[in-house]
Structure 1
Amino acid sequence: MTDALKYDYAFDPNDDSTAARVCRLVGERKQVLELGCAAGAMSKVLSQHYHCAVTGVEFNAEAAQLARAFCKEVLVADLDQADSLRALDQSFEVLVFADVLEHLRDPEARLREALHYLSPTGHVVVSVPNIAHNGVLAQLWCGEFNYAETGLLDRTHIHFFTANTLQRMLERVGLEVDHIETIDTGPFHPEFAAYWDQLPPEIYTLFQHNTPGQPYQIIMRAKRPVVIDDTPSPSLWQRVQQRLRGTSS
């Protein structure tokens, strides 16, 4: 498998996969900036099923070329670099970071930069793997932390998130999380099957009932907070008094 195709896949827009859920949270007929679009698997669904106009950003030139079939434009850029989006000349209704932030050296800085291209009423959709997953905890209990080619511990993941730490990061850049979904895999996941049998019975039972460890993926939608002018407006009587003062002067 070439690097260009590593993150290429197909999915049913109506299923419960992470990609399908992210697309549903984007919505229909939106101007979308998909950061880390890879070969365009999600771009295809967003453009063909949801009738969105998608602009993609992708580091791998070969993958970007494949994604152009489904995007109105694909910018070849390294999201790890500051000002990597400077060639963009428009704002977008939705920014999508689908399984991207965990690959970046400074995800908070890159997210903050991308917000310059979000329209005032737009929203951001983010998905990340859950490092608090029971499988990771089981592996750690066994004294291991083994990366793999794909999956939750993909060897290209250099930042890790829980639901709490992701939400706090979104809030630090000035966003307000208004929707959270999780891809729950139950207490156990076959990706970490080698570690379950090594656990003492009491720890096995603990993980079995560890609810925060059941989500494999976390999806959040966030938007700019609504700014409310809390300056009290003059009451009717105050307005009458102001008018009377003006008349008597």
Structure 2
Amino acid sequence: MLQHVPLDAKILDLGAYTGALISRLRANGYTRLLAADLANHLTEKVDDHWACDFNEDFSEAISERNFDAIVACEVIEHLDDPRAFLKQCRKLLKDGGHVVISTPNIAFFEGRIKFALTGNLWGFGERNYRSQRHISPIQEGQLPLMTAECGFDCIETTTAGSFATPMRRMLTAPIWLPMRAAFGPRTLGESLFCVARASASADETGSSGSTPWRVSVPAE
């Protein structure tokens, strides 16, 4: 967010829940913060909140328009139609505004091992379906194509984040170090991130008509 979105931006957090991300954004200097979710569970103050279902035409339920940025952290994998979600986001953004999304990185090194052993994607097996309703896995290479179809230009993808303890990272180092050397830094980071800019040339279907491209930044 700090790399792409100015501090005076009007930001909508989709899937805000209690407002943990709102708190982090405010701590980093953002002040114009709004939120939406199925219901209001916020413990953080925001300028406004809307209750809406992201599987529906939720843009109609949100009275504001022309947001500078929309962020959806670990939301899109729960949805029936991620492309419809992105098109709804485009309706809420001003031209040149940004959408920032994160979703499980199915190319994570543990995910590669799980797929080799079981044929199931990391974070999307039966247990994840039942307990978290993870139903829509997305590969990194799909993001420039998806965002272009929905009225955006993809400007960056990357991976980051880990739930592993220092001990676990040390114990798994003999696995992830050679996998990183063989397959690149995208094997690290449990979350996949995408930043896309709303195209001014998007037509009524939401497509920008542009050629998908990306600038990838390796995870630290």
The question of a shared fold, defined as TM-score above 0.5 by the shorter chain, is answered with yes
Question: Residue 30 of structure 2 is aligned with which of 35, 44, 51?
Answer: 51
**1:45: how far off?**
2.5
Residue 41 of structure 2: SS of its match in structure 1?
A: helix
Match of 1:165? 142
CA contact (8 A) 2:14 2:35 kept: yes
Is the alpha carbon distance of 1:154 and 1:167 closer, same or farther for their aligned partners in structure 2, counting shifts above 3 Å?
A: farther
CA contact (8 A) 2:90 2:151 kept: no
Question: Residue 191 of structure 2 is aligned with which of 212, 217, 224?
Answer: 217
Match of 2:14? 35
Gaps of 5+ in 2: 202-220
**1:208: how far off?**
5.9
Aligned CA RMSD, in angstroms, stands at 3.3
**1:129: how far off?**
1.6
Is the alpha carbon distance of 1:65 and 1:162 closer, same or farther for their aligned partners in structure 2, counting shifts above 3 Å?
A: same
**1:96: how far off?**
0.9
Match of 2:155? 178
CA contact (8 A) 2:13 2:71 kept: yes
Which runs of at least 4 in structure 1 moved beyond 3 Å after TM superposition?
22-27, 144-149, 204-208
Q: Counterpart amino acid of 2:105?
A: N
Q: Counterpart amino acid of 1:66?
A: L
Residue 126 of structure 1: SS of its match in structure 2?
A: strand
> How is 1:132-211 mapped onto 2 (pairs within 5 angstroms)?
132-143=107-118, 145=120, 146=125, 155-183=132-160, 190=168, 209-211=182-184
**1:126: how far off?**
1.4
Provide the rounded CA distance (Å) in 2 between the counterparts of 1:154 and 1:78.
Answer: 19
Provide the rounded CA distance (Å) in 1 between the counterparts of 2:158 and 2:107.
Answer: 15
Is the alpha carbon distance of 1:72 and 1:157 closer, same or farther for their aligned partners in structure 2, counting shifts above 3 Å?
A: same
Provide the rounded CA distance (Å) in 2 between the counterparts of 1:26 and 1:148.
Answer: 36
Q: Counterpart amino acid of 2:108?
A: H
Match of 1:237? none
Provide the rounded CA distance (Å) in 2 between the counterparts of 1:206 and 1:101.
Answer: 27
CA contact (8 A) 1:47 1:70 kept: no
Residue 50 of structure 2: SS of its match in structure 1?
A: strand
Instruction: Answer with 90-99 or 154-163: which moved more.
Output: 154-163
Gaps of 5+ in 1: 1-21, 228-249
Q: Which has the higher contact order (CA 8 A, sep 6+)?
A: 2
**1:104 pairs with 2:83:** no
Q: Counterpart amino acid of 1:65?
A: H
Q: How many residues align?
A: 189
Structure with max Cα Rg: 1
Provide the rounded CA distance (Å) in 1 between the counterparts of 2:69 and 2:13.
Answer: 8
Q: Counterpart amino acid of 1:94?
A: A
Match of 1:127? 102
Instruction: Give the structure-2-normalised TM-score.
Output: 0.72
Q: Counterpart amino acid of 2:198?
A: R
Match of 2:209? none
